Amino acid sequence: MDAKLKYKSKKIKIVFFDIDDTLRVKETGYIPDSIKTVFKQLKEKGILTGIASGRGIFGVVPELKALQPDFFVTLNGSYIEDKAGKVIAQTPIARNVVETYIAWTKEIGIDFGLVGSHQAALSTRTPLINEAIDIVYPDLPVQPDFYQDYNVYQMWTFEDIGDSLQLPKDLGEHLRLVRWHPHSSDVVLTNGSKASGVAKVVEYLGLKPENVMAFGDELNDLELFDYAGISVAMGISHEKIKAKADFVTKTVEEDGIFYALEELGMVEKELHFPQVTIEKTEGPKATIKTNHGDLKIQLFPEQAPKTVANFIALSKDGYYDGVIFHRIIKDFMIQGGDPTGTGMGGESIYGEKFEDEFSPELYNIRGALSMANAGPNTNGSQFFIVQNSKIPYAQKELERGGWPAPIAEIYASKGGTPHLDRRHTVFGQLLDEASYQVLDKIAAVETGAMDKPLEDVVIETIKVED
């Protein structure tokens, strides 16, 4: 992320989002959970949110309305409401222009649609119209004289002519075409656009264009991208949009909006601490069977994917069968995983030492399964389980040191080795009280030189439940 763009993001006071293929996937309706996080965190930071769409308000799906955007710039800027339903601005198309447009469609033999502030209608129904419009507005009525009862803010063409379709000169003085579908264009006022609508909100709020960020993906976002202080194109965007954008992010399915805002420092990933709610955590589990009892462990592939994959593969291959815990220090940890039994050996499935995976969601609390290493990014096959039950720190001291409150509470009440955090990769956690009893039993064995047990503590095998 460009440092200049990060600096500009500090001036953002309102963020506008397109809907289709920006907030949600048009074809499937999929909206990632991260969108809720985005709206929640922006609100907490005092940053306003808005919808800027070619859709009418009646086309904003309930899931997006539930996010409570502060403003709805709809119908390409021609109708604007705030979240309370107050009309901020509206620019209907003159009745005589609508009638002239309808006459032109009949003259050249194409179909049309008419869009009001809160409803729309079609001139007819055909398979071509159904294919274009139903995914956005299902079940629109056929009502070619809709304009006689309602103000019209936008119109549609329905045809298979494509970009070669041009309005006649008399209509071109009032209207322009914005292609949004292979078989349809929005017909909007010549000076109407998402940008003009957003500008009215900005004026209403007493802000400046530099205070605006816009997310979009299609040609009807071009003017808004020129207007906004920061413009972000989705990964699936039209090439002209990508070329104009300040930043091109990922797709909806890849949490593109969250990714861009996180890169800009405007939102943060919501952390979940699986060790705190270990009984509810799902995913692969392992049982280290020793000659002193079983150690049942929950693994964390989401936070440490490469480390967990290594441990599982080695376990299933029998790599750890018969290997001893070669280093045991009471009130600290038990260490094993080296087939040479010396603490100097062991290889990963990758054929070489592999990198650390430090997750802000995992810590070396009592019972944590962690990778042993010889320095940064030197992981192989060796691991240890934290056994220490007491540390000389209070919860508040740990919180002041930067540890999250739920983790600081566990460290203070149950123990662990916080000094190993960000030095050793945590990738698992003991699951039950019986396992802790076995851990303490092993930690209590008599040891000699190099903290090696006088009598071998043996890993008989490791069973994995995927």
In 3-state terms, what secondary structure has residue 235?
Answer: coil
Radius of gyration of the chain (CA): 31
| pLDDT tens series, the chain, 466 aa | 688 999 999 999 999 999 999 999 988 999 999 999 999 999 999 999 999 998 999 989 999 999 999 999 999 899 999 999 999 999 999 999 999 999 999 999 999 999 999 999 999 999 999 999 998 899 999 999 999 999 999 999 999 998 899 999 999 999 999 888 999 999 999 988 999 999 999 999 999 999 999 999 998 899 999 999 999 999 999 999 999 999 999 999 999 999 999 999 999 888 899 999 999 999 999 999 999 999 999 999 999 999 999 999 999 999 999 999 999 999 999 999 999 999 999 999 999 999 999 999 999 999 999 999 999 999 999 999 999 998 878 999 999 999 999 999 999 999 999 999 999 999 999 999 999 999 999 999 999 999 999 999 999 999 999 8
CA distance 82 to 186: 23
Instruction: Give the C-alpha distances (Å, rounded to integers) separating 316 from 195, 304, 313, 321.
Output: 59, 18, 5, 10
CATH topology of domain 95-189: 3.30.1240
Q: What is the DSSP string of 122-163?
A: ES---HHHHHHHTTTSTT--B-TTGGGTS---EEEEE-S-GG
Q: Is 421 a catalytic residue?
A: no
**Phi, psi (rounded to 5 degrees) for 74:** -115, 170
The residue to which tokens 């816009």 are assigned:
214
At residue 271, the pLDDT reads: 86
Residue 131 Rama label (left phi>0; alpha psi -120 to 50; beta): alpha
Q: Per-domain residue ranges for the chain?
A: 3-86+193-264, 95-189, 274-465
Instruction: Give the C-alpha distances (Å, rounded to integers) separating 441 from 241, 424, 461.
Output: 64, 24, 18
Q: Which residues of 56-82 are buried (b: 16+ CB within 10 A; e: fewer)?
A: bbebbeeebeebebbbbbbbbbbbbbe
Q: CB neighbours of 306 closer than 8 A, spacing ≥ 6?
A: 350, 354, 355, 357
CATH topology of domain 274-465: Cyclophilin (2.40.100)
At residue 15, the pLDDT reads: 98
Nearest-10 Cα torsion for 310, 315, 319, 321: 150
Edge-to-edge strand order for the sheet containing 79-82?
87-90, 79-82, 71-74, 48-52, 14-17, 212-216, 230-233, 247-248
Measured CA angle at 219 (ends 245, 11), to 5 deg: 35
CA distance 290 to 456: 10
The residue to which tokens 């071509």 are assigned:
128
Q: CB neighbours of 342 closer than 8 A, spacing ≥ 6?
A: 326
| This model's pTM is above 0.75 | no
In 3-state terms, what secondary structure has residue 342?
Answer: coil
Can you identify the CATH homologous superfamily of domain 3-86+193-264?
HAD superfamily/HAD-like (3.40.50.1000)
CA distance 185 to 112: 10
| Cβ 453 vs Cβ 445: under 8 Å | yes
What is the CB neighbour count within 10 angstroms for residue 195?
25
Q: Which amino acid is at 456?
A: D
Measured CA angle at 54 (ends 52, 60), to 5 deg: 70
The residue to which tokens 């705190």 are assigned:
276
CA distance 457 to 236: 56
CA distance 152 to 231: 29
At residue 162, the pLDDT reads: 86
